Structure 1
Amino acid sequence: MQILPGGGATFLLLLGLLLGAFAVRSALRLRRVLWLVRRGEHTEGRCTKRRTVDRGPGTDRRYATEYVFGFRTGDGRDVEFTDTAPGPFGFEVGAPVRVSYDPVAPDKRATVAGPGAWGPVLLPAAFATGLGVFALGLLYGFVAVRGWV
Structure 2
Amino acid sequence: MDVLPGGTATFLLLFGLFLGAFAVRSALRLGRVLRLVRHGEHVEGRCSDRRVVDRGAGMERRYATEYVFAFRTPDGLDVEFTDHAPGPFGFEVGAPIRISYDPADPVRRATVAGPGAWGPVLMPAVFATVLGLFSLGLLLGFAAMRGWG
Letter paired with 2:29: R
Q: What is the deviation of 1:59?
A: 1.8
Superposed structure 1 runs of 4+ greater than 3 Å apart: none
CA–CA distance in structure 1, aligned partners of residues 78 and 128 of structure 2: 32
Task: Give the fraction of aligned pairs with identical amino acids, expressed as a percent.
Answer: 77
Q: Matches of residues 44-83 of structure 1 in structure 2 within 5 Å?
A: 44-83=44-83
Letter paired with 1:47: C
Per-residue CA deviation, residues 53-77 of structure 1 (Å, 9 max, x unaligned), is 0011122211000000000012110
- Give the corresponding residue for 2:87: 87
**TM-score of the pair, normalised by structure 1:** 0.99
Letter paired with 1:92: E
Q: What is the deviation of 1:148?
A: 1.0
1:127 to 2:127 alignment:
yes
CA–CA distance in structure 2, aligned partners of residues 104 and 74 of structure 1: 13
1:14 partner SS: helix
For structure 1, the residue ranges without an aligned partner over 5 or more in a row are: none
Per-residue CA deviation, residues 80-115 of structure 1 (Å, 9 max, x unaligned), is 000000000000000000000000000000000000
For structure 2, the residue ranges without an aligned partner over 5 or more in a row are: none
- Give the corresponding residue for 1:109: 109
CA–CA distance in structure 1, aligned partners of residues 127 and 145 of structure 2: 26
CA–CA distance in structure 2, aligned partners of residues 87 and 148 of structure 1: 43
- Give the corresponding residue for 2:14: 14
1:9 partner SS: helix
CA–CA distance in structure 2, aligned partners of residues 58 and 81 of structure 1: 26
Letter paired with 1:117: A
Per-residue CA deviation, residues 117-137 of structure 1 (Å, 9 max, x unaligned), is 000000000000000011000
**TM-score of the pair, normalised by structure 2:** 0.99
2:48 partner SS: strand
1:138 to 2:132 alignment:
no
1:69 partner SS: strand
Report the more deviating stretch, 50-59 or 35-44: 50-59
Letter paired with 2:100: S
CA–CA distance in structure 1, aligned partners of residues 74 and 28 of structure 2: 27
CA–CA distance in structure 2, aligned partners of residues 74 and 28 of structure 1: 28
CA–CA distance in structure 2, aligned partners of residues 134 and 63 of structure 1: 28
